[in-house]
Amino acid sequence: MKTANPASMWTIARPLAGACLLASVSGCALVSSLRGAISPAEDGTPRASVEGMPPELAARADGLVTVDEPPARSVLEARNRMTGSAMVLRDLLASEGYLAAEIAPSEILTTADAAVLIAEPGPIFTVLSRDFRGRGAVVPEVARRLDAEMAQLPEGAIARTQNIERMDDTLVQRLRDLGYAFAYSEGIDVLASRENADVELTFLLVAGPRVSLGTFESPGLDGRNTKMVRALKTWSDGDLFTPSVIDRLRTRLRATGLYEGIGVVISETPGPDGLHSVTATLVEGEPRTVGLGVAASTTEGVGIDAYWERRNLTGRADRLRVQGEVATLAQNLTATYERPNIGRYGRTLSLETGVRSEQTDAYDLDGARIIASLAQPFSRELTVSVGAALDATRTVDQRVRIIGGITRDQVTLSFPVSATYSDVGDPLDPQSGFRFYASSETGVSVGDETPAYTRLQLSAATYKAVAKDLVAAFRAEYGAFVGSGAVPPDRLFFAGGGGTVRGYEYQSLSPQNAFGDLEGGRNLFAASAELRWRASERFGYALFTDLGAASDDAGAVFSDAAASLGFGLRYYPGFGPIRLDIAAPLDSREGDAPVQLYISIGQAF
């Protein structure tokens, strides 16, 4: 720590780690360090009584000298403790603008002597002027931007060390934002006047070169992987460096899921073309993953799903996933291949094929399906997808079973288009943000009947922290059909159960035929509201209400909507909550159970 010259004016340099104002390194940084060293504690013993502190700082000063420590073993140790506490209080005063403050410890002759720290705060210093060194090393426009930043520390402002240190950090960050990738600060020169109680500040900036980015290299990778990594480049040759450009590169590299270690370095020396190359050092992770999930409810039974995934199958950041599910109401096996960055970054080709079987109260179905889609992100939040699907099904619905179990075979060609917007963080446990999904699927079926249809679906959810550890969540969903009335049964809308309205039997809030058998509806409405409280690191609770119905009539879907109310328990093992929900129907009908139970991974929405 540098000491102050007792003359009327002096200059102190601030090392990069903190501001040196008069006799102290950054008050905020040093106080934090010394507090850790002397272990302040609310239930500790004061080292000394403190006198002369400004009233607004008296409580903080008492807290800084209250520590949890054994009695001093010698007079020397007691004096050293007083010296340390005096330094802490002097730095506290400096952090609030009392730059000429002095703290005088009382004389200690024995370990039993009562210790007193006497403060002489002196005047509050203000900012007289501020400038930065290296003005000639930056272009005029950048110099004007730095001057505008320094205006946030106006003349006449109290010379608080934390504000001065923050301004130094801000100026360095602004230089980097404007292309000076290697900018740093050598400290702050402070010219202080005791007579006038003011300071003249000079921020000792070293801008370095203004960096234009060039080639992107990734040594240690084979040819195919090198080509794939270069496709993730976030700049064009000649673009100015900005931290966000490199941050986006790191984000893209992480998003591949291929690397467990990522290091990005910008060359300090430009090449012959005047551009600075960027080098990524990558440590490849395990290319295979196996996962397992379990879900259970009193309305939909028990289900187990598992998957195996192989990443970077051909060296193009592609992935192959084989996933299967065995549940009470459905069984399926699906293989999906994804190839990212088709033609441009983010454009992803997805190919899927699979077989499935479903057994519900409305219909039984066996089918095989092939789907191809192309998804393009237009921003970090918005992605649009277009595709084509060929689906061969054999369906037995309730009406057909009644008249003898005649099956209906159909082959359906459809063209789904969807848009997804999401700015939430953790998809399993959203804390804030908004999600929106819109889809349109136009299809035509060939078989026992030849219907053409267009299926529309909209859903939105929003999340907001209303208090500490308390999140309010809302969801709404609407669906409708345009076209033929003879829609394949598995494409119709159903309501009731864990995905729409908890508390009711699966699909039970759907239209019924004259025999009371369930049929899918051409319209759907569902809404939910939840209040989620994270009570501790491991446990949380939720209160929720759901509302919804499916209907063949666009107006009746709202008037027929049934509601439920429920309570949930959340357990947080570290990868997303395990959810247990108990829901009761508010519009109970004959045959409805008083409560339904749901267990799954992740929040309900």
What is the distance between the alpha carbons of residues 26 and 15, in angstroms, rounded to a whole number?
9
Site of tokens 């929106």: 436
What was the pLDDT predicted at 398? 57
What was the pLDDT predicted at 5? 30
For residues 534-547, give the mean pLDDT: 95
Lowest mean pLDDT among 49-53, 494-498, 516-520, 561-565: 516-520
For residues 404-411, give the mean pLDDT: 74
The answer to whether 247 and 278 are in contact (CB under 8 A) is no
Angle at the Cα of 145 (from 141 to 147), degrees rounded to 5?
Answer: 115
> Tens digits of per-residue pLDDT, 248-265?
999 999 988 889 899 999
3-class secondary-structure state, position 35: helix
- Residues β-bridged to residue 240: 212
What was the pLDDT predicted at 246? 95
Structure confidence at residue 502 as a pLDDT band (50, 70, 90):
very high
Site of tokens 């984000």: 251
Predicted confidence (pLDDT) at residue 402 exceeds the cutoff of 80: no
DSSP for 157-180?
A: SB--HHHHHHHHHHHHHHHHHTT-
What is the distance between the alpha carbons of residues 466 and 225, in angstroms, rounded to a whole number?
46
Structure confidence at residue 227 as a pLDDT band (50, 70, 90):
confident
Predicted confidence (pLDDT) at residue 179 exceeds the cutoff of 90: yes
More confident: 342 or 14:
342
What was the pLDDT predicted at 406? 63
Structure confidence at residue 236 as a pLDDT band (50, 70, 90):
very high
For residues 297-306, give the mean pLDDT: 85
Burial of 403 (0-12, 13-18, 19+ CB in 10 A): exposed
For residues 89-118, give the mean pLDDT: 87
3-class secondary-structure state, position 103: strand
Structure confidence at residue 336 as a pLDDT band (50, 70, 90):
very high
DSSP code, position 432? S
DSSP code, position 151? T
What is the distance between the alpha carbons of residues 352 and 373, in angstroms, rounded to a whole number?
9
What was the pLDDT predicted at 17? 28
Tokens of 403: 């008249």
Measured from the Cβ of residue 333, the count of other Cβ atoms closer than 10 Å reads: 14
What is the distance between the alpha carbons of residues 106 and 113, in angstroms, rounded to a whole number?
9
Measured from the Cβ of residue 273, the count of other Cβ atoms closer than 10 Å reads: 12
Structure confidence at residue 211 as a pLDDT band (50, 70, 90):
very high
The answer to whether 302 and 295 are in contact (CB under 8 A) is yes
- Cα 355 to chain centroid distance, Å, stands at 35
DSSP for 221-270?
A: --HHHHHHHHTT--S-TTPBP-HHHHHHHHHHHHHTT-EEEEEEEE-SS-
- In this structure, the dihedral spanned by the alpha carbons of residues 539, 531, 427 and 546, taken in order and rounded to 10 degrees, is 120
> Tens digits of per-residue pLDDT, 4-52?
332 223 333 333 223 333 333 333 332 233 334 344 455 567 788 888 8
Lowest mean pLDDT among 141-155, 500-514, 521-535: 500-514
Computed over every residue of the chain, the mean pLDDT equals 86
Backbone angles phi, psi at 170, to 5 degrees: -65, -40
SS3 content of the chain, % helix, strand, coil (to 5): 20, 45, 35
Q: What sign does the dihedral 504-509-515-520 (CA atoms) show?
A: negative
Q: What sign does the dihedral 151-155-157-162 (CA atoms) show?
A: positive
- The CA distances from residue 103 to 47, 89, 120, 124, in Å, are 14, 7, 6, 16
The answer to whether 265 and 278 are in contact (CB under 8 A) is yes
Site of tokens 């003011």: 198
Predicted confidence (pLDDT) at residue 571 exceeds the cutoff of 50: yes
> Tens digits of per-residue pLDDT, 113-152?
778 888 899 999 999 999 999 999 999 999 999 999 999 9
What is the distance between the alpha carbons of residues 561 and 527, in angstroms, rounded to a whole number?
10
What was the pLDDT predicted at 301? 82
Q: Return the axis-axis angle of helices 55-64 and 75-95, rounded to nearest 10°.
A: 140
- For the chain, the residue count is 605
Counting residues of the chain whose pLDDT is more than 90, the rounded percentage is 56
Structure confidence at residue 513 as a pLDDT band (50, 70, 90):
confident
The answer to whether 155 and 127 are in contact (CB under 8 A) is yes
Closest CA to 215 of 229, 205, 201: 229
The answer to whether 322 and 335 are in contact (CB under 8 A) is yes
3-class secondary-structure state, position 574: coil
What is the distance between the alpha carbons of residues 488 and 444, in angstroms, rounded to a whole number?
10
For residues 475-480, give the mean pLDDT: 96
> Tens digits of per-residue pLDDT, 369-389?
999 999 999 998 999 999 999
Predicted confidence (pLDDT) at residue 97 exceeds the cutoff of 60: yes
The most confident of the ranges 45-49, 51-55, 306-310, 508-512 is: 306-310
3-class secondary-structure state, position 497: coil
Closest CA to 203 of 124, 92, 127: 127
3-class secondary-structure state, position 210: coil
Side chain identity, residue 285: G
**All domains in the chain, ordered by first residue:** 1-210 (3.10.20.310), 213-284 (3.10.20.310), 288-601 (2.40.160.50)
What was the pLDDT predicted at 449? 67
- Residues β-bridged to residue 531: 472, 543
